[in-house]
A and B are shown apart, each in its own frame.
Chain A
Amino acid sequence: MPIQAIQMTLTQTLVMGLLQIVVVLIAVFIMVPLLTFAERKVIGYIQVRLGATRLAGGHVGITGPMNRVMWSMGKVPMLSILRGLPIFIADALKLITKEDIIPAKADRGVFTLAPIISVMAAFGVFAAVAYYPGVMFYLPKGFPIVGGLPFQGFITDVNVGLLFILGLASVGVYGIVLGAWASNSKYPLLGGLRSAAQIVSYEVPLTLSLLVPVLLAGSLNFKEMSILLATGKGLHPLAIIPLFIGFFVYLTCGFAETNRVPFDLPEAETELVAGFHTEYSGMKFGFFYLAEYANMIVVSALATAFFLGGHYLLPFGLQRFIPETVPFLGQPSFIFFLGKVCFILFVFLWVRATLPRYRYDQLMDVAWKYLLPLTLVNLFIAALIRFAF
Chain B
Amino acid sequence: MFKNEEMEINLGPQHPSTHGVLRVKLRLDGETVTKCTPIIGYLHRGVEKICENQTYFQGQVWTDRMDYVASISNNLGWAEGVEKLFGIEVPRRAKYIRTMLTEQNRLASHLLWLATHALDIGAMTVFLYAFREREYLLDLFEAFCGARLTTTAFRIGGLREDLPPGFIKSSQAFQDRFLACIDEYEELLTENRIWKKRTVGVAKLSAEDCIALGVTGPVLRAAGVPYDIRRAFPNAAYAEMDFEIPTRPEADTYARYLVRLAEMRQSHRIIQQCIDGLPEGPVMAKIPKILRSEVNEVYHPIEAPKGELGYYFVGEKGGTMPYRMHVRAPSFVNLQALSKMTEGRLLADVIAAIGTLDVVLGEIDR
Contact = CB atoms under 8 A, between A and B. Distances in A.
A109 to B, nearest CB: 24
Interface string A251-268: 000000000011010001
B124 A353 contact: yes
19 contacts: A46-B125, A47-B124, A190-B9, A193-B30, A194-B31, A270-B119, A270-B351, A352-B124, A355-B123, A355-B192, A356-B118, A356-B122, A356-B189, A357-B122, A357-B194, A360-B31, A360-B346, A361-B346, A362-B198
A359 B253 CA distance: 14
A271 B129 contact: no
Contacts of B125: 43, 46-47, 353-354
A47 B123 CA distance: 11
A187 to B, nearest CB: 7
Interface in B339-356: 346-349, 351
Contacts, number: 82
A268 B122 contact: yes
A190 B347 contact: yes
B351 A262 contact: no
Interface in A288-314: none
- Of the listed residues B121, B122, B189, B347, the one surrounded by the most CB atoms of chain A closer than 10 A to its CB is B122
Contacts of A269: 16
Contact of A359 (B7, B127, B348): B348
B232 interface: no
A270 B122 contact: yes
B195 interface: yes
Interface string B311-323: 0000000000000
Nearest to B30: A193
A186 interface: yes
Interface string A47-61: 111000000000000
A262 B31 contact: no
A15 interface: no
Interface string A326-366: 00000000000000000000000000111111111110000
CB-CB nearest 3 A-B residue pairs:
A357-B122, A270-B17, A356-B122
B44 interface: no
B287 interface: no
Nearest to A361: B346
B194 A273 contact: no
B347 A356 contact: no
B67 interface: no
- Chain A at the B interface: SS class: helix
- Chain B at the A interface: SS class: helix
Interface in B111-167: 118-125, 127-129, 132
Contacts of B50: none
Nearest to B120: A270
Given A359-B349, A360-B31, A186 B7 contact: yes
A361 B120 CA distance: 17
A271 B351 contact: yes
A357 B128 contact: no
Contacts of B348: 268, 271, 357, 359-360
B192 to A, nearest CB: 7
Interface size bracket, B side: 20 to 34
A358 B128 CA distance: 21
Contacts of B347: 190, 271, 360
Nearest to B119: A270
Interface string B1-44: 00000010100000111000000000010110000000000000
A370 B127 CA distance: 30
Interface of A: 43, 46-49, 186-187, 189-190, 193-194, 261-262, 264, 268-271, 273, 352-362
A325 to B, nearest CB: 46
Contacts of A194: 31
A236 B348 CA distance: 46
A353 B119 CA distance: 11
Interface string B257-291: 00000000000000000000000000000000000
B128 A264 contact: no
Contact of A362 (B9, B189, B197): B197
A360 B345 CA distance: 11
A334 B229 CA distance: 67
Contacts of A271: 17, 347-348, 351
B122 A262 contact: yes
A48 B194 contact: no
A5 B102 CA distance: 80
A357 B17 contact: no
B326 to A, nearest CB: 34
B188 interface: yes
Contacts of A360: 31, 346-348
Nearest to B28: A190
A105 to B, nearest CB: 16
Contacts of B123: 354-356
Contacts of B349: 359
A264 B194 CA distance: 13
A356 B198 contact: yes
A339 to B, nearest CB: 26
Given A353-B125, A360-B31, 17 more contacts: A47-B128, A48-B129, A186-B7, A190-B28, A190-B31, A262-B194, A264-B122, A268-B122, A270-B121, A271-B348, A271-B351, A356-B118, A356-B121, A356-B123, A357-B194, A357-B348, A358-B198
B129 A357 contact: no
